[in-house]
Amino acid sequence: MIGGLSREFYHRVWLHYNDSVAWKWEKHSEFGNKGQGTVAMDGENRTMWIFEPHVAEAVFEELVKENNIRVLRNEWLDREKGVEKVGGAITSIKTLSGKRISGKMFIDATYEGDLMAAAGVYYVVGREANSVYNETYNGVQADIKERGHFFKDPIDPYRIPGRKESGLLDGISAEPISPNEGDVQVHLKYPYSISYGSIVPKRSECTNLLVPVCVSASHIAFGSIRMEPVFMILGQSAVVAACLAMESHQGVQDISYDALKTRLLERGQVLQSPLKEQK
């Protein structure tokens, strides 16, 4: 269920490819139009889900220009001493080039979560056992073969076929299967919502930071969340939440969810699955 700015992005990609000039490497009429679980070019919804990287970059550049956004390129956070905090809130950050940027609100939209970590927000790296969050899909799922991601025919693991004493081939282990690898692609009945609480730190850690990519999630849950359309949805939600927090002079943990919900819906965000509501 993709709405808001995320859908706007894919609509603009569709507009690009709806022009015959865009088809330089193959004819539009010869395009297979196959995506992951859907058509690549959706004429009914006016969206395009498969695209060339330079097209995506151009769309983002258009959005930046239209909204007069200042972008500082090739700047990296000073992770050692680049974050200043006062009273639980970030007051400024510094880049390795020496630039210092002050602000009332900060959003860490990186894949690595460097600002989050440098701001003193608790985080976990690695995979947890099923028992930590009472989950069922962590670890190697040796018996799940619905996607065919496994060897269908027996393969001899020894350097000399059939001779155990010759030793195992490089990359082959004799150890028993161990946890949070494996093919864990399973179908859900409905799309699911992502809690606002998953993109905000604890109040005691930081009150003016939102983290829409390195969200608070178990490893297996993040494996489902980690898609760019979702990151765009969470990013827009984070911006709207930051604006609400500044307007109400509150921490990001204290804003009214009803107010956030209203503003997101006004901007075309999809917050609940229509399919689930019908059941």
Considering the domain architecture, whether residues 102 and 193 belong to the same structural domain is answered as yes
Q: How far is CA 53 from CA 73, 114, 180, 235, in A?
A: 18, 25, 31, 20
Q: How far is CA 31 from CA 11, 27, 43, 50, 88, in A?
A: 18, 7, 14, 11, 53
- Angle 63-69-72 from CA coordinates, rounded to 5°: 115
Q: Which pLDDT belongs to residue 181?
A: 52
Closest CA to 72 of 99, 35, 44, 43: 99
3-state helix, strand, coil in the chain (%, to 5): 30, 10, 55
Tokens of 148: 């065919």
Considering the domain architecture, whether residues 19 and 108 belong to the same structural domain is answered as no
Which burial class, exposed, middle or buried, applies to 5 when counting CB atoms under 10 A from its CB (0-12, 13-18, 19+)? Answer: middle
Considering the domain architecture, whether residues 123 and 204 belong to the same structural domain is answered as yes
Q: Which domain holds residue 55?
A: 4-66
Spatial contact of 119 and 204, defined as CB atoms under 8 Å apart: no
Position 52 in a domain: yes
Number of domains in the chain: 2
Is residue 151's pLDDT more than 60? yes
Cβ partners under 8 Å of residue 274, min gap 6: 1
pTM of the model: 0.84
Position 71 in a domain: no
User: Which residue would you say has higher pLDDT here, 85 or 2?
Assistant: 85
Q: Which pLDDT belongs to residue 143?
A: 63
Considering the domain architecture, whether residues 19 and 126 belong to the same structural domain is answered as no
Position 111 in a domain: yes
Position 72 in a domain: no
User: Which residue would you say has higher pLDDT here, 144 or 6?
Assistant: 6
No. of helices (H) and no. of strands (E), the chain:
8, 9
**Residue 83 amino acid letter:** V
Counted residue by residue, the chain has a size of 279
Q: Which pLDDT belongs to residue 279?
A: 47
Spatial contact of 214 and 110, defined as CB atoms under 8 Å apart: yes
- When mean pLDDT is compared over 141-150, 170-179, 195-204, the highest value belongs to 195-204
Considering the domain architecture, whether residues 250 and 202 belong to the same structural domain is answered as yes
Spatial contact of 167 and 198, defined as CB atoms under 8 Å apart: no
Q: Which pLDDT belongs to residue 183?
A: 57
Q: How far is CA 201 from CA 39, 219, 239, in A?
A: 38, 17, 15
Average pLDDT of 156-167? 94
Is residue 261's pLDDT more than 90? yes
Average pLDDT of 160-170? 95
Which tens digits make up the pLDDT trace of 12-68? 999 999 998 999 998 888 888 887 778 888 888 899 999 999 999 999 999 999 999
SS3 label, residue 17: helix
Considering the domain architecture, whether residues 91 and 225 belong to the same structural domain is answered as yes
Tell me the sheet residues that pair with 34: 39
Q: Which pLDDT belongs to residue 17?
A: 94
Is residue 180's pLDDT more than 80? no
Which tens digits make up the pLDDT trace of 199-254? 999 999 999 999 999 999 998 889 889 889 999 999 999 999 999 999 999 999 99
Considering the domain architecture, whether residues 130 and 9 belong to the same structural domain is answered as no
4: left (phi over 0), alpha (psi -120 to 50) or beta: left
Is residue 11's pLDDT more than 70? yes
Is residue 178's pLDDT more than 70? no
* C-beta atoms surrounding 278 within 10 Å: 7
Which tens digits make up the pLDDT trace of 95-146? 999 999 999 999 999 999 999 999 999 998 888 888 889 988 776 666 666 5
For the chain, what percent of residues have pLDDT higher than 70?
A: 91
